Amino acid sequence: MNVNRNVSLKSFHTFGIDVPCDFLVEASTINELTEAYQKTEWLLLPKLVLGKGSNVLFTEPFHGVVVINGLLGKSVVESVDHVHLHVSSGEDWPGLVEWTLGENIHGLENLALIPGCVGSAPIQNIGAYGVELKDICEYVEYLNLETFTITRLMAEQCLFGYRDSIFKHQLLGKVVIVAVGLKLPKKWQPNLSYGPLKEEKELLTSPKSVFEYICDIRRSKLPDPLVTGNAGSFFKNPVLSLECFNRLKAIYPELSGFSMQDGGVKIAAGWLIDRCGLKGYQIGGALVHPQQALVLVNSGGATPNDVLDLAWFIKQSVKDKYGVELEHEVRFFDSECETNLDAIFSENNCE
């Protein structure tokens, strides 16, 4: 277990903002992960497990222990109709998708190039282009931080929702995901339900063709965090009641929506932000990406407050114009624990 004190987190999260933590620990085994939580020197300090840092904003210096997830490994078992993958939580998600294609395992291609590690995928119930993790997840294994034993939750126990799961609620701060089980059908059926894919169905006749097409789309729409600091889609796409959607649609006929299984209608947060004229809007070093309104970027030297002020301005602008509340998809961490935009600005308004 590698331990360092007073380390900048700039290179450990994709926003690339210079925020320090008191201790940085790199854990490559479950025993080292357990040791990181039990070490007497910092037993009472807050702790945060970090994978690739692709969906994180540190709003303040973190006065605790950041544990870098280095758990690696994957195994394959076949049943009659499925391929079953057991993947350690520190594995890179885009790397996993590409590896499966090389092994002639299909079913993950719609989730290509989603940044982050495997352990983050169930927390957010990652999804793109008509597929969510819940569609292919078999189970999640976690380390219980009270008993330090390993527990397996089957997919239906994970309470997956839109960018949501049990790990953001009942199990928040109580467990660390150590592995994910994926169940992929041997017989390939392309999922081309997402608009742009549907239009190209004559060309998308293999897992590799779907993978490459989605990679091309993502690269054209989303800035590379290795070049420009960002955390991908900053806000969730709002889900409205059918009544609310129809009311907005009557005012803004160009508004489009996607019907959800629960009867709600999902609309594009990027569309709302764009129609508020906020592409290219900047506060300090934080910028709404000029080509993709859903992405906030570190244009150079951004501070946490720059990003927070920009996110709050966007949230209020959309609410004022459309009456729609935006919720950030990026996870916020203050000096001790997870927080959110509303909590931060309600505290500021009370000071």
Q: Give the model confidence (pLDDT) of 138-181 as tens digits.
A: 999 999 999 999 999 999 999 999 899 999 999 999 999 999 99
Buried residues in 115-153 as b, exposed as e (16+ CB within 10 A): bbbbbbbbbbbbbbbbbbbbbbbbbbbbbebeeeeeeeb
Which of 28-42, 192-206, 251-265 has the lowest average pLDDT?
Answer: 192-206
Closest listed residue to residue 116, CA positions, set 232, 3, 201, 289:
232
Region 339-343: what's the mean pLDDT? 95
Could you tell me if 100 and 150 lie in one domain? Answer: yes
On whether the CB atoms of residues 92 and 81 are closer than 8 A, the answer is: no
Could you tell me if 199 and 114 lie in one domain? Answer: yes
Could you tell me if 209 and 80 lie in one domain? Answer: yes
Output the domain CATH number for residue 12: 3.30.43.10
Give Cα separations from 269 to 238, 239, 312 (angstroms). 6, 10, 14
pLDDT tier for residue 221 given thresholds of 50, 70 and 90: confident
| Whole-number pLDDT of residue 261 | 80
pLDDT at 348 over 80: no
Could you tell me if 242 and 330 lie in one domain? Answer: yes
Q: Which of 158, 190, 218 is where one domain is finished? A: 218
Closest listed residue to residue 129, CA positions, set 28, 224, 76, 201:
201
Could you tell me if 110 and 56 lie in one domain? Answer: no
Catalytic residue among 163, 165, 275, 317: 163
Region 79-86: what's the mean pLDDT? 98
Could you tell me if 194 and 136 lie in one domain? Answer: yes
Could you tell me if 208 and 127 lie in one domain? Answer: yes
How many domains does the structure of the chain reveal?
A: 3
Q: Which of 218, 239, 263 is where one domain is finished? A: 218
Torsion, Cα of 58, 62, 65, 67 (10° steps): 10
pLDDT at 350 over 90: no
| Whole-number pLDDT of residue 195 | 77
Region 195-203: what's the mean pLDDT? 84
Could you tell me if 283 and 193 lie in one domain? Answer: no
Could you tell me if 118 and 175 lie in one domain? Answer: yes
Is pTM beyond 0.95 here?
Answer: no
Region 219-227: what's the mean pLDDT? 88
| Whole-number pLDDT of residue 118 | 98
- Top pLDDT among 196 and 276 is at 276
Region 241-253: what's the mean pLDDT? 96
Q: Which of 69, 86, 111 is where one domain is finished? A: 69
Region 322-340: what's the mean pLDDT? 96
Which one-letter amino acid corresponds to residue 212? Answer: E
pLDDT tier for residue 199 given thresholds of 50, 70 and 90: confident
The question of whether 202 is a catalytic residue gets the answer no
Region 317-332: what's the mean pLDDT? 96
Could you tell me if 190 and 311 lie in one domain? Answer: no
pLDDT tier for residue 1 given thresholds of 50, 70 and 90: confident
Output the domain CATH number for residue 275: 3.90.78.10
The question of whether 163 is a catalytic residue gets the answer yes
pLDDT in tens, 106-135: 999 999 999 999 999 999 999 999 999 999
- Top pLDDT among 224 and 302 is at 302
Measured between alpha carbons, how far is 97 from 213 in angstroms, rounded to an integer? 14
pLDDT tier for residue 349 given thresholds of 50, 70 and 90: low
Output the domain CATH number for residue 189: 3.30.465.10
On whether the CB atoms of residues 233 and 202 are closer than 8 A, the answer is: no
Region 338-345: what's the mean pLDDT? 95
| Whole-number pLDDT of residue 200 | 87
Catalytic residue among 88, 120, 165, 233: 233
Could you tell me if 209 and 83 lie in one domain? Answer: yes
Could you tell me if 205 and 274 lie in one domain? Answer: no
The alpha carbons of the chain give a radius of gyration, in whole angstroms, of 20
Contacts of residue 104, Cβ cutoff 8 Å, sequence gap at least 6? none
Range of the domain at 40: 2-69
The question of whether 233 is a catalytic residue gets the answer yes
Catalytic residue among 98, 138, 212, 329: 329
